[in-house]
A = this chain, B = another copy of it.
């Protein structure tokens, strides 16, 4: 069976091995006579899936024991609200480092909850680069928030600041699990699953346990991290099917060598496309500054809008999916999440070369 050349920005390609395993077990999970989504979330079979997702994520990301792993719903967008609801204390301010549209949304939601401000912003430079920040947050900082990878502008933090006086909170929706990181640098990490983790519909939150004390007991039960931490994400019915698929993706990541191996492949994939851009004498123009380039989303345009349009049209005809840039900035974008293969990236590279020669 021919797999699509899927460069979607998310929901995105998933590993074929994962899809095949899920299909095989679909009607009769572990000989139970039931599909995974027909299992009670209190059954031993489901508990095992749930625990396996937790254990695998901890092992792959080397999450220390003083962190909780939560499986929630609502996407990163709901975390934009839950983070300040739970972490932002009176008389303190939440500081946001602005690297694109998602940071803007996160800050705007935080302002609905309490005092929140921009600490640094790349907006004037059209979000082409990641601003550098001081190692020390302002004295009244409740936390400092960043977006680790910016799908729309194609930028990515290369190293994270080592804050010593406020917890660092990161929206890692679009690059979690794409490379090893040091979880100890963060107070809280959150990520919608639909890029590197699995299907949309489950959100991973990794939170340092000492931060759970900040959740006020007057918070709505479902919006308190404490609720979910106390109940191992089983306070109410979790999205069982999505968590099952997440667990299969995690198994797959482990099977191919874990995050060091994934990082190597991801670097190789991105390099193939950035090389084409850099060697094209301005035919392809990358959006992000070189030092801020994302390994996950390669954003570029051609010299004229007409050329960009022709490129996207012919790419579509050639079977490439999802190469249109986000509607807010236009241009082109190739998303290279974990499940996109080197072979697929090579096909795109070949297409880009041929298009340039013929245009």
| Residues of A near any B CB (own CB < 8 A) | 1-4, 6, 8-14, 16, 19-20, 22-23, 26-28, 32-35, 37-41, 73-78, 80-81, 85, 105, 109, 112-113, 192, 194, 198-202, 218-223, 235-242, 245, 321-322
A-side binding surface: helix, strand, loop or mixed? loop
Residue of A3, A76, A219, A235 with highest tally of chain B CB at under 10 A: A3
* Closest Cβ–Cβ distance, residue A194 to chain B (whole Å): 6
* Closest Cβ–Cβ distance, residue A243 to chain B (whole Å): 9
Residue of A13, A41, A75, A241 with highest tally of chain B CB at under 10 A: A241
Residue in chain B with minimal CB distance to A3: B33
| Given known A75-B73, A200-B41, contact A35–B9 (CB-CB < 8 A) | no
A-B pairs with lowest CB-CB distance, top 6: A201-B239, A4-B33, A37-B199, A73-B73, A81-B220, A77-B236
Q: How far is the CA of A202 from the CA of B200 in the complex (A)?
A: 11
Query: Are B81 and A200 touching (Cβ within 8 A)?
Result: no
- B residues in contact with A37, CB < 8 Å: 11, 14, 194, 198-200, 245
* Closest Cβ–Cβ distance, residue A111 to chain B (whole Å): 10
Residue in chain B with minimal CB distance to A16: B27
Q: How far is the CA of A37 from the CA of B246 in the complex (A)?
A: 12
Query: Are B201 and A75 touching (Cβ within 8 A)?
Result: no
